[in-house]
Structure 1
Amino acid sequence: MPYWEIFTPENAFTPEDKEQLSEAITSIYTDTVNLPKFYVVVLFKDMPANTMYVGGKPANNFVRIRVDHIARQLEGAEIRAFCMAIIEEKLAPFVKERGYDWEVHLDETPMDLWRTQGLIPPSAESDMEKLWAKENRPVPYEVAAT
């Protein structure tokens, strides 16, 4: 799962903006690595004035984005740079082009430390993961013994 937390100044985004940005973020994963849409979770956190500080000073024009990748790992510098470029491209209309200062970082969590609906997610690109993508939900299945 990609899990995004987006900390923004209060009222920086309308509900429509949030939906459009969430769709743009989801497309990163569905279009480039074929993840099921429901894997992508985006949480917006509106921060009242004077609750975010950068360098010890209020940062009331600052957007901070924290991303946790689990379903796929970014292998190698070239893939990481490609991913960050796509992220910056998708964020630009909502952040850069609106004059916000911003920062984004990614963490990666091992896939074996993830469950959804109590299920171990299927292997990448497997028939079961393709079924999950088609159904847009986790579908129970038997996990092969190791």
Structure 2
Amino acid sequence: MPLWHIYTPVGAYSAEDKRALAADLMSVYVDAGLPKFYVNVLFHEIAEENFLIGGEPRTNFVRLVAEHIARHLETTELRRKALELFEAKIAPYVRDRGYDWEMHMDETPFDWWQVQGLVPPLADSEGEKLWVKENRPIPYATV
């Protein structure tokens, strides 16, 4: 599962903008074979007095944090390529709108994860293909 937290100034994005950004981020994961429902994008609007960068209030800063569980990238080269891909996806929402931004990714061990009480199927397994097809967690054969 990727879980994205996007911290923004109040009113930075319309509901339509949020849906579009979430869809653009989701497309990366769907293209990699993950189910759509794995992708969680949470927007956190932060009031100016609560959004301090370098100790000063900011109204033009967006902070993006992603937690990856379903897939891990094992090399620096793969991580850099992924960051480049995500930078391209977020550019219309940050850079092109004049926002300053920062982004980072965390990786949580796969075995510390469950979805609705189910252990998610392994990458590219028949169980995962079933979850992609159904776009929901359902029991699957592990053998």
Q: Is the pair's TM-score, using the shorter chain for normalization, greater than 0.5?
A: yes
Partners of 2:28 and 2:22 in 1: how far apart? 10
Is 1:22 the equivalent of 2:38? no
What is the RMSD computed on CA atoms of the aligned residues? 0.9
Task: State the one-letter code of the partner of 1:99.
Answer: G
Equivalence for 1:119: 118
Partners of 2:91 and 2:49 in 1: how far apart? 24
Equivalence for 2:81: 82
Q: Is the 8 A contact 1:50 1:60 kept in 2?
A: no
Is 1:43 the equivalent of 2:42? yes
Equivalence for 2:101: 102
Partners of 2:49 and 2:92 in 1: how far apart? 25
- Residue deviations 1:38-84, cap 9 Å, x none? 00000001111221111111121110011100000011011101100
Q: Is the 8 A contact 2:127 2:142 kept in 1?
A: no
Paired residue total: 143
Task: State the one-letter code of the partner of 2:138.
Answer: V
Pairwise CA distance, 1:141: 2.5
TM-score (norm 1): 0.95
Aligned to 1:50, the other structure's residue is in SS state: helix
Partners of 1:25 and 1:73 in 2: how far apart? 16
Unaligned runs of 5+ in 2: none
Is 1:6 the equivalent of 2:6? yes
Task: State the one-letter code of the partner of 2:44.
Answer: K
Pairwise CA distance, 1:142: 4.4
Aligned to 1:18, the other structure's residue is in SS state: helix
Aligned to 1:20, the other structure's residue is in SS state: helix
Q: Is the 8 A contact 1:5 1:67 kept in 2?
A: yes
TM-score (norm 2): 0.97
Pairwise CA distance, 1:7: 0.3
Partners of 1:74 and 1:141 in 2: how far apart? 26
Q: After the TM superposition, which parts of structure 1 deviate over 6 Å for at least 4 consecutive aligned residues? A: none
Equivalence for 1:57: 56
